[in-house]
A and B are shown apart, each in its own frame.
Chain A
Amino acid sequence: MASPTDYKASPYTYGFSDPEEYLTRTPKGLSEETVRAISAFKKEPLWMLEKRLEAYEIFLEKPLPTWGADLFGLDFNEMTYFMRSQDRPSRTWDDVSDTIKNTFDKLGVPEAEKKFLAGVGAQYESEVIYHNLQQKWKDQGVVFLDTDTALREHEEIIKTHFGTVIPAHDNKFAALNTAVWSGGSYVYVPKGVHIDVPLQAYFRINARNAGQFERTLIIAEEGSYVHYVEGCSAPTYSSDSLHSAVVEVIVMPGARVRYSTIQNWSDNVYNLVTKRAIAHKNATMEWVDCNLGSRVTMKYPSVFMIGEGARAEILSLALAGPNQHQDAGAKAVHLAPNTSSVITSKSVSHGGGRTSYRGLVKTNKKATGAFSKVTCDALILDEASRSDTYPTMDINQRDVKIEHEATVSRLGEEQLFYLRSRGLSEAEAAGLIVNGFIEPIVKELPMEYAVEMNRLIELQMSGSVG
């Protein structure tokens, strides 16, 4: 019988067996050393370090936005900018707050998934899922990696496209992300390939350096199609107070990309994300953006239509409860003839929450025959809540057709009365009406997400309607 001393560990086969273990986290606060340390730890090429350092300078120079949500509570020196996921403070099931546990139970999240979402699960399980699915994608020539690995394995293509859609000087948080980014996804879809299953990023991203400053790059070559799903409708507990991701999408001629996000961070999180796509000739870009959690969200997915006949569709959903401000919206920039965009926004505020739609439709001289339609509907459930709409239309070409409409209303008395008379409680009735209100957006999500979303809405409504 082998004695315990005979045992030799075999190489770890489930991912994150990175040999470089000399640095596991940077000290609190942000400085040039932090940026250099992150880059050195990842053994990045020199050009990436230079990009990071340049972005860090831009970050220092740029002021905080004076519009939008209140960012006064942000303290950049109180944060840790880089931490390996396996070195994150371990948490036990007992540490997880009761509200989150209850939500898991009511949503019917499986046990293992619950622990993972709460940050107490063993993370290699998710790596296994990732590797099993990866073979199928590989056969079709698709690349789906975390951005750190992609930088090692596909350096040239990353170098060509990194920061071309969202340069570091775009805004303060894009600069911050460029300086300290870690993780995120890199997706490359070759010409003509249609990926029929949605690529789901949630598990994989979190298995690595949990996505505090994710950097995602998606390239869809001519005539290809991909549906990328990010996030999870079950609440995600995070101890980080700032999430600042950058997502760049390049949609080549005739390709179609759909990017679905379901964001449900815990309510201590500032979620400040820059998402932008470039759509070439006859390309279609679709953002489905659902914001349920976080304390403050500022996120305006945008599409720059630079090729003739490009299309943009943006569906935005925001739900703000107590102490939450969802400042979400969409931007459609028409830079070529016969481009079209459709923006649909639905927001619900309750329990003192605040939702804002902030959008932009812009056409330049080249955008003859451009068409844009923006519809924003807001529902306010009680008198403590607030809803704003700020849609800008900047039209520099007369041969266009631009439409915008917005409504703000409350729960219909008649609808409530009908449902109450059928024996539903007030909360159930409110949940049903809200689910009906957001249905045009939820129906665009993969089925399992849609089901969870509906349950989550019912849960949030219970006890919130007076």
Chain B
Amino acid sequence: MATYHLTFSKDLPATELDWNPDEETCEIEVPAGESHYIFQVEDDSSRHYVFHLRHPDSRLLLSGIVNAVGEWAPRLRTEVIHHAPATQAETDIRTVAYDNSQPHYEGLIRIEKPAQGSESYLSHHSLLLGEGSHSWTLPSLEILADQVKCSHAATVRTLNEEDLFYPRSRGISEATAEKMLIDAFANSYSQPVD
């Protein structure tokens, strides 16, 4: 499986893909076989990725995390377009919003007419931690073929007393418990199975 990292952060090594920051949209031709793209967005920017599945039977896993802090309003838009038959894709994005950040995520699955027999799933989960945090999510589906299985799911929530109760009852301090739960949320996006 080919793995590509799409990392955007001052503190982390730059992405391995050629990506021109001046271009509004980044078009990616997904190679045949299995590919895994991992997003790690830790800056205040606007990004738009379009993944084209043009090889029959190819598989795409798109996963990652958006961390937004301070007054950031990062925008991420992913599009997965199935052109070829029997292609499979899974998109799993997680967003953590601290402080007054306003993360914005749009995820589209589009199945073109010839892409019969395709399967595509998208999930987006947001954790709002900041008092003034604000999340905007639009998962969309555009299905033009009939022999397909598609679904998406999205949730928005915060950490509440119940979540913290168990680790607290085991003697873990509130700060540690919170950190554990946030880490668990942020790192539980889909990983390829070897």
Contact = CB atoms under 8 A, between A and B. Distances in A.
A405 B160 CA distance: 22
Contacts of A381: 146
Interface stretch (B43-51, B63-71, B124-132, B174-182): B124-132
Interface of A: 378, 380-383, 385-410
A389 B154 contact: no
Contacts of B6: none
B15 interface: no
Contacts of A394: 134-136
B52 to A, nearest CB: 19
A403 B136 CA distance: 13
A395 B133 CA distance: 9
The 8 A-B residue pairs whose C-beta atoms are closest, nearest first, are A398-B128, A402-B156, A389-B141, A407-B151, A398-B158, A405-B153, A393-B137, A408-B150
B151 to A, nearest CB: 4
A409 B150 CA distance: 7
A63 B133 CA distance: 33
Interface in B152-180: 152-158, 160
Contacts of A401: 155-157
B56 interface: no
Contacts of B140: 388-391
Given A383-B113, A395-B136, A410 B131 contact: no
A398 B152 contact: no
Contacts of A407: 150-151
Contact of A406 (B126, B134, B151, B160): B151
A71 to B, nearest CB: 19
A331 to B, nearest CB: 14
A395 B156 contact: yes
26 contacts: A378-B141, A380-B143, A380-B146, A380-B148, A383-B116, A383-B147, A386-B142, A387-B141, A388-B142, A389-B140, A390-B138, A391-B138, A392-B138, A393-B154, A395-B134, A396-B134, A398-B128, A398-B129, A398-B130, A398-B158, A400-B157, A405-B153, A406-B152, A408-B143, A408-B151, A410-B148
Contacts of B143: 378, 380, 386-388, 408
A396 B133 CA distance: 7
B136 A398 contact: no
Instruction: Say which size band chain B's interface belongs to.
Output: 35 or more
Nearest to B127: A398
Contact of B137 (A382, A392, A400): A392
Contacts of B128: 395, 397-398, 400
A110 B127 CA distance: 57
A23 to B, nearest CB: 48
B143 to A, nearest CB: 5
Contacts of B129: 398
A378 B142 CA distance: 11
B144 interface: yes
Interface of B: 97, 113, 116, 126, 128-131, 133-158, 160
Among B116, B143, B151, the most chain A Cβ lie within 10 Å of the Cβ of B143
Nearest to A379: B146
Contacts of A391: 138-140, 154
Given A393-B156, A398-B128, A398-B158, A406 B139 contact: yes
A404 B155 contact: yes
B80 to A, nearest CB: 14
Nearest to B152: A406
Nearest to B102: A396
B148 A405 contact: no
Contact of A383 (B146, B156, B158): B146
A68 to B, nearest CB: 13
Contacts of B148: 380, 408-410
A383 B152 CA distance: 21
A241 B8 CA distance: 52
Contact of B147 (A395, A397, A402, A410): A410
A395 B135 contact: yes
Contacts of A380: 143, 145-146, 148
A365 B158 CA distance: 14
B139 A404 contact: yes
Among B148, B156, B158, the most chain A Cβ lie within 10 Å of the Cβ of B156
B157 A402 contact: yes
A372 to B, nearest CB: 9
B116 A400 contact: no
Nearest to B136: A394
Contact of B153 (A390, A398, A404, A408): A404
A397 B131 CA distance: 8
Contacts of A398: 97, 128-131, 133, 158
Given A383-B113, A397-B128, A406-B141, 12 more contacts: A380-B148, A386-B144, A387-B143, A389-B141, A390-B140, A393-B156, A398-B97, A398-B158, A403-B153, A404-B152, A404-B154, A408-B149
B146 A382 contact: yes
A405 B156 CA distance: 12
Nearest to A381: B146
Contacts of B141: 378, 387-389, 406, 408
Contacts of B153: 403-406
B98 to A, nearest CB: 10
